[in-house]
Amino acid sequence: MYHQFSRATGRLVAATNLQTPLFPVAPIALQRVDPPKIQYNTAQLSTVTEACPAPGARKLIPGTNTPYSPVPESIRKQQQQFQKEDDVPVFLKGGPVDGILYRLTLALCVVGLVGIGHTVYDHAFPKQ
């Protein structure tokens, strides 16, 4: 037995006009279609040497002949510091200030959770 929603009541009732589960759409068998052929356009593909420039070569900004500006030495040192394998989480690699900010954030989270618990308790057991 099949069911449908009644327009009058909005409830689920036994269907009278449904003879198949896919009424009024009948299933149609899938037709076999050959997959599309892959076409390689070699004129627009870059070569390996363009995609991976030599270590000393400067990469150009796409669409221009202007090279990217060099990375300042201070940023290069920070990159080395943060990418170093020393089993320290990345949010603590900035030094003691990062440790202080991390602990302050944890303390504020705990204070917020205590505040939420206090609010839930006040709403669950109101004062009379």
Average pLDDT over residues 48-58: 62
**Residue 47 has what pLDDT?**
53
Inside any domain, residue 117:
yes
Inside any domain, residue 45:
no
Q: How many other C-beta atoms are found inside a 10 Å radius of the C-beta of residue 102? A: 14
pTM: 0.46
Q: Position 103: which residue type?
A: R
Each residue's pLDDT tens digit, 55-106: 667 777 887 778 888 889 999 999 999 998 988 998 899 899 999 999 999 9
Question: In whole angstroms, what is the distance from residue 97 CA to residue 105 CA?
Answer: 12
Quote the number of domains for the chain.
Answer: 1
Question: What is the span of the domain harbouring residue 126?
Answer: 89-128
Comparing 92 with 29, the larger pLDDT belongs to 92
Comparing 41 with 65, the larger pLDDT belongs to 65
- 78: its two tokens: 């920070």
Inside any domain, residue 62:
no
